[in-house]
Structure formats: structure tokens, C-alpha cells
Chain A
Amino acid sequence: MQVYSIPKSIKENSKFTFCKGCDHGVAIKIIAEIIDELNLRENTIAISSSGCSVLLYNFLDVDCLEAPHGRACAVATGVKRAHRAKKDEKFVFTYQGDGDFASIGLSESMHSALRGENITAICINNTNYGMTGGQMGPTSTMGQLTTTSPLGRNKEYHGFPIKTAEQIALCEGTQFSARVALYDVKNILNAKKIIKKAFECQLNNKGFSFVEILSSCPTNWKLSPQDSHKKIAEELTKIYPLDIFKDTTND
């Protein structure tokens, strides 16, 4: 009995081009599995953004659109509304990094949540700008060494990091907001369950759903894949607690 095979929504013979040990691969894999399970493949439009997350369209076998930097939620709003006007309902989700979602595109993201736009946003939080060389991002933790904060992030000069899932949960239009991690099997399975719930929130026309995924960045953290996962489990989950911060899907 075959208990595992490559999800059908991953393009055939595709080889991920992420750094070794990067959790982006796991995130794309579980999204593809959920698209398979909910049978959404022919009905999905994925919006990718700038950064490492842009590579989604190379691997996911669904229609994808690349948004300008930070504007994925705005583009998703347009795609969703245009298809609704044509009475051709599509499943629309965005796949963004933390710099894209919570810094450059914070206004687009926040206002999509405030409008209660019926889309799903997925934000990969690896606490830096990975693709451009590990600059300090909005979610970099206090004291974190990055290429633009070589002495560590400090509150006098850089200020405090943003807790995206909590902030989005405060918006009245948000129906589902949660934070998950991918550092071990238990958390990967839990993440899959929660992302599926966020997708179902959109399918039931409830409103804005958001999932923040704590991801490792071994290259820019200058750690091995194992130590990166250890860092997430021991340090990052204390700063960014894993929880469901808002869930009104059962109301």
C-alpha cells in the first residue's frame, strides 16, 4: 500500500531550487497536498510575490500570477472580484514572505484583512530578507545579527519586530488567523491541518484568512538545517507563539 507519493499539484519532474534545508519546500509540498485533497487544482489562482516565495509558480501546477513587491493581497483582491463579477468563482491565495507581507506590503495586507476580502494569505516568516542576502526584515528578532544590523537589532535604532498573525487577528474582517511552524513532523502535520482550515474558510465564503508559517533560513542564519530547526523550536516559538489567534469559521 502506497502511503506517500509526490502531490499531483506539484509539476512533474520539478526540482526545488531553494537552499538546502529551507522550509519553503515543505510549505509548498503541504499546500500542494491540500489543493489535491480539496480538489481545487483546476479552480485555483495562486498569487506569488517577490523574494524566495516567488518561486512558487515554478513548482505548483496551478495558474499563478506574480504580483509587484508587497502587492500580492491587492492583486488577489482584483483577481477574486473580477472572477466573482463574471460569476466564475475562483479559489485565490497569496504566498508571500514576511518582508513582502508585513513590511513592503503591510498596507495592502492590512487593508485586505480590514475589508474582509474573501482570500487566503500565507506568509512565510524566516525573520529576514532571504533572497537578497539576509537583510533585517520587519520580523527580525531583538538582537538578531543580519547584514544590515551587524551589531544585532536594537530597540533604540531599529525598533521592535511585528507579530503579524496577532496584528491581522485584530482586524475585524479577518475570520481566521494562525501561526504554525515546520520544524518537526508533528508541527508539519498540524500546519497542514490549519492551512486546510484557512482554505476552507475561503471556500465557505467567510472572509479573510491568514496563516503565518515560521520557516528556517539556514543560509542566512548561517546554521545547519538541524540547528535552524532547533532555533525555531527553542527561540523563535517563544517570541512568536504558535496558536490560532482568531477563528470565527464555526460561528
Chain B
Amino acid sequence: MSYIKINQDKCKSCYLCIDVCPHKLIKKSNNTGSTGELTVEFSDNENKCIGCAQCAIVCPEIAIEEVTRE
């Protein structure tokens, strides 16, 4: 199962990862980050993540720390 690991402490809520995810698996969470806005979280209940790592490539904060592909 492919998955990504997001470090909520580093997320600055730019939401570039939300736009780039081909299956829209990254969503806003309920936690407030360092910029006072909602951070992002990864939810993949249907195992749709393909581990393309595009989210990690565009993340300017290296908040997406790991991408594992099955």
C-alpha cells in the first residue's frame, strides 16, 4: 500500500500538494498550523495512492517527509 508521511509541524498551509495530487487524497485537516490556517492531512481509505511523489516534489517546506510506493 502506497502512503505518504506528512509532518504537520512543518506545514505552512500553502495547499500546493492538494492541487497536484492526481487522486485528490490530500485534504485540509482540523489542526491549525504555524500560519494560523488549517494544515493538510492524507486520507486514503480506498488505497488509491499511487506513490507518484508529486506532492513531495512541490512541497516547499519538506513537510511531506516520506513517500512509499507498493
Contact = CB atoms under 8 A, between A and B. Distances in A.
B64 to A, nearest CB: 8
B54 A21 contact: no
Chain B binding site: helix, strand, loop or mixed by DSSP? loop
A26 B60 contact: yes
B16 A1 contact: no
B57 A185 contact: yes
B35 A188 contact: no
A6 B53 contact: no
Contact of B60 (A10, A16, A184): A16
A21 B58 contact: no
A16 B51 CA distance: 24
Interface residues of A, number: 27
A4 B66 contact: yes
B14 A20 contact: yes
Contact of A188 (B12, B19, B58, B68): B58
Interface in A5-27: 5-6, 10, 15-16, 18-26
Nearest to A18: B60
Contacts of A188: 57-58
B20 to A, nearest CB: 7
B65 A5 contact: yes
B46 interface: no
B15 A225 contact: yes
A59 to B, nearest CB: 9
Contacts of A185: 20, 54, 57-58
A49 B67 CA distance: 33
Given A16-B62, A25-B61, A226 B56 contact: no
Interface in B1-17: 9-10, 12-16
B67 A184 contact: no
Nearest to A25: B60
Given A5-B67, A229-B16, 16 more contacts: A1-B70, A2-B67, A3-B53, A3-B69, A4-B57, A4-B66, A5-B65, A15-B10, A16-B10, A20-B12, A21-B14, A25-B61, A184-B20, A185-B58, A225-B15, A225-B60
21 contacts: A1-B68, A1-B69, A2-B67, A2-B69, A3-B53, A3-B67, A3-B69, A6-B62, A6-B65, A16-B60, A19-B12, A20-B14, A20-B61, A21-B14, A21-B16, A25-B61, A29-B60, A184-B20, A185-B20, A226-B15, A226-B16
